[in-house]
Structure 1
Amino acid sequence: MDERFSRPKGFGQILDHTFSLSKRHFKDLFLIFLIFMGPIYLLQAIIELASGVSFFREVGVGETWYEQILTSFDDTEDVNLGADLGIALVGLISIFVAPVATAAVMFAVDHMRKGEEYTVGSVIKQAFSRYWPMLGSTILFGVIAFCLFVVPVIIITIAGVVGAIVLPVVGIILAILLFVGFFIGIGLLLTRWSFYFGSVVFEEETPGLSRSWKLTKGRTWVLFGLFIIFSLIVTMISTILEMTFGLVLGNSVLLSLIINAVSIFTTMIFSVGYAVMYFDLKIRHDADDLKEMIGEYHTPQI
């Protein structure tokens, strides 16, 4: 077994272990997501090309080069209908294939943890064996998350409007306070349930929400912070590269392909991080269970 998997890790150690695994096993991990997402992104590119989007460099109207680049992103252009259709199609299909790719990465990390040999094909096969429980649990989690976000938005909107009518400054402050409060509260709540996926994949517990609640006990703030850090890293990488290549390529098909390749990379890192956090929770929880059993064993019976 990999020694780093055998002991509980702190905040920084989880980040370091995630990037270390991603670097050492980049080829296999990236290939897993490429197998699932590559054909979908290729289909998106074909749709965009068929709708009239330029492959190498898409420019709009304007006197200077930067005006031409900026206007190429104008959603009022007819060609963007094809681009929007491609994005919508990718999002829809991803709902059904992304859980398998994530599970395959988690199985790969599990083999690394145990020091076992594996192939990309073998972990994909393992992932498909849990397909329907994973899909059903993911859809359920998505519905719960959607409802948790919709209700606060309605409350914040009503409070902000009412406050603005009474006193504009009060309405703005109230809306900000409610937004921060709901963001933290919902984030912590979803963090407690977020490891349902690992429970479904490895423990065959569906939908896995109660198991996740037990695993995350006492670690909610740390895990919430890790999710924020991973999200910030993913956002920064995607934004920087999109802006950099966008200045040269405009809203072209090639830019979409580059962005999608970056998306595969960042999703891979996030999935590895999720797996590392899950196994860390397992180590901690199993150790607590063992201590409890030992305590009960040594407790004198009356």
Structure 2
Amino acid sequence: MDEKFNRPKGFGQILDHTFSLSKKHFKDFFLILLIFFGPIYLLQALIQLASGVSFFREVGAGETWFEQVIMSFDDTEAVNLGADLGVALTGLILIFLAPVATAAVMFAIDHLRKGEEYTVGSVIKQAFSRYWPMLGSTILFCLIGFGLLVVPMIIVTIAGVIGAMVLPVVGVILAILLFVGFSVGAFLLLTRWSFYFGSVVFREETPGLSRSWKLTKGRTWVLFGLFIIFSLIITMISATLELTFGIFLGNSVLLTLIINVVGIITTLIFTVGYAVMYFDLKIRHDADDLKEMIGEYHTPQI
């Protein structure tokens, strides 16, 4: 049993535990994600090749090597509607498989937490057993997120236009303040509900929103900060590697494959981080519940 799971962790300890787990069990976690995402990325590469994109190095028009590489990303003449539709299709398939891949990694981490043996096949089987509750809950969460982000933007736009009609400076300032306020509020609410997925995966509650709300009580800002840190790390890794390889490969099929492999690795880190945060919340909440039960037991009955 991993003793780190048995005690509440601070901000830095969660990050440290995430990266230590990712490193120690990288092979299993990567294989789980590769089983789900690999065939989709391979299909995407085949569609690109069929549409005429070069495998090793794609360049556009230009006199210098650098201009040719840059133009390979902006060359609209090579756009193929069939290829774009194919890529969109693979993306859609990915959306429906991602919850299962995430759940499989979480089941593997749960076995590690309990000191139990597992195989890649067994955790994938466990994940599929929760497919429909996970999918339904995820769709509900996405709809809530869409409403929290889109509706405020409409309000901000209307308020900004009205303010600009009175005084342009007032309209701009009002729009900025409302945008920042609504954005922070929306993301904090989404943070409170974001651990619905773990609750559904481990059969605690479906769709898991109220369970997540209870788990995240008193930890919202810490979790919000962790999500920001993980997002920044993932963005930096992805952007750095895409820029580095893009300089030499252009907008080629090989570049797409490299980006997709990097995407699997960053997804692995984020998934492990999410699982570590979820189990940390769970042990905190369960400990609080136990304290309340002990307190009620020792309270004399009148």
1:51–1:81 Cα contact (<8 Å) kept: no
| Secondary structure, aligned partner of 1:135 | helix
Q: TM-score by structure 2 length? A: 0.97
Give the corresponding residue for 2:59: 59
Amino acid at match of 2:179: F
| Deviation (angstroms), 1:183 | 1.4
Question: In 2, Cα distance between the equivalents of 1:246 and 1:82?
Answer: 24
2:78 pairs with 1:78 = yes
Q: Deviations over 1:94-123 (max 9, x none)?
A: 121000000000001111111111111111
Amino acid at match of 2:278: Y
| Deviation (angstroms), 1:232 | 0.7
The aligned length equals: 302
Give the corresponding residue for 1:39: 39
Give the corresponding residue for 1:197: 197
Give the corresponding residue for 1:30: 30
1:104–1:123 Cα contact (<8 Å) kept: yes
61-70 or 193-202, which deviates more: 61-70
2:265 pairs with 1:265 = yes
1:108–1:123 Cα contact (<8 Å) kept: yes
2:47–2:87 Cα contact (<8 Å) kept: no
Judged with a 3 Å threshold, the aligned counterparts in structure 2 of structure 1 residues 113 and 49 are, in CA distance, closer, same or farther, namely: same
2:289 pairs with 1:289 = yes
The 5 Å alignment of 1:1-302 reads: 1-74=1-74, 76-79=76-79, 81-302=81-302
Amino acid at match of 1:191: T
What CA RMSD, in Å, does the superposition of the two structures yield over aligned residues?
A: 1.3
Question: In 2, Cα distance between the equivalents of 1:75 and 1:208?
Answer: 46
Question: In 2, Cα distance between the equivalents of 1:53 and 1:174?
Answer: 47
1:11–1:222 Cα contact (<8 Å) kept: yes
| Deviation (angstroms), 1:140 | 0.8
Q: TM-score by structure 1 length? A: 0.97
| Deviation (angstroms), 1:82 | 4.8
1:57–1:250 Cα contact (<8 Å) kept: yes
| Deviation (angstroms), 1:174 | 1.9
Gaps of 5+ in 1: none
Gaps of 5+ in 2: none
| Deviation (angstroms), 1:7 | 0.2
Judged with a 3 Å threshold, the aligned counterparts in structure 2 of structure 1 residues 83 and 66 are, in CA distance, closer, same or farther, namely: farther
1:44–1:89 Cα contact (<8 Å) kept: no
Aligned identity (percent) is 84
| Deviation (angstroms), 1:161 | 2.6
Judged with a 3 Å threshold, the aligned counterparts in structure 2 of structure 1 residues 87 and 76 are, in CA distance, closer, same or farther, namely: same
Amino acid at match of 1:59: V
Amino acid at match of 1:42: L
